Amino acid sequence: MNRRRALTLFVNTTVALIGGGLTAVLGAFAFRPSRGADTARWVRAGAVADLEPHVPVPRVLSISRQDGWYRQRARETVFLVWDGDTTVHALSATCTHLGCQVRWDADSTTFRCPCHGGVFGPDGAVVEGPPSRPLDRVDARIESAGAAGADVMTVMVRL
Ligand code: FES
């Protein structure tokens, strides 16, 4: 084998190895099942003892979201409404018009959006303003999270 032939063999082998490696990496990305958007999961939203019956109480929750290859922490505000017994309802604080955060107005017993004057009733129904649909309901439940005889009733919401 002369020098020219040896060099050609070396270059061709190197190019083939690099090409094969790149193909393997790209193939792994192309054929590996991508992780879709996270499905909702139950998140602890606080103790029932901190709630007042029929008074919406805001809770800011930090949740981890993953969409494909992208992972981020997001904050969601929900209003918890306890019936004073065994049921709690949760409403998203995100206005259904353009996404501003609504606030509970105890005087008028309505949720008010500061952006365009949207008003929602205590059940989330639109009372007035530009929103065309009610506040989103969030699944919520009460769980017993006691340890060694000290029962703590905890509100869980599904985000
Ligand atoms: S964003 Fe709430 S009324 Fe427009």
Closest ligand 1 atom, CA of 95? 2
Tokens 């599904």 found at:
158
100 touches ligand 1 (CB under 6 Å): yes
Average pLDDT over every residue of 5-25: 92
Burial classification of residue 39, based on how many CB atoms lie within 10 Å of its CB (0-12 exposed, 13-18 middle, 19 or more buried): exposed
Q: How far is the CA of 100 from the centre of ligand 1 (A)?
A: 6
What pLDDT is recorded for position 133? 97
Distance CA 116, CA 13 (A): 67
Q: How far is the CA of 125 from the centre of ligand 1 (A)?
A: 14
95 touches ligand 1 (CB under 6 Å): yes
Tokens 């206005």 found at:
95
Q: How far is the CA of 18 from the centre of ligand 1 (A)?
A: 55
97 touches ligand 1 (CB under 6 Å): yes
pTM: 0.73
34-51 pLDDT per residue, tens: 555 556 789 999 999 999
90-111 pLDDT per residue, tens: 999 999 999 999 999 999 999 9
44-90 pLDDT per residue, tens: 999 999 999 999 999 999 988 877 778 888 899 999 999 998 899 99
β-pair type (110-112, 57-67): unpaired
Q: How far is the CA of 129 from the centre of ligand 1 (A)?
A: 8
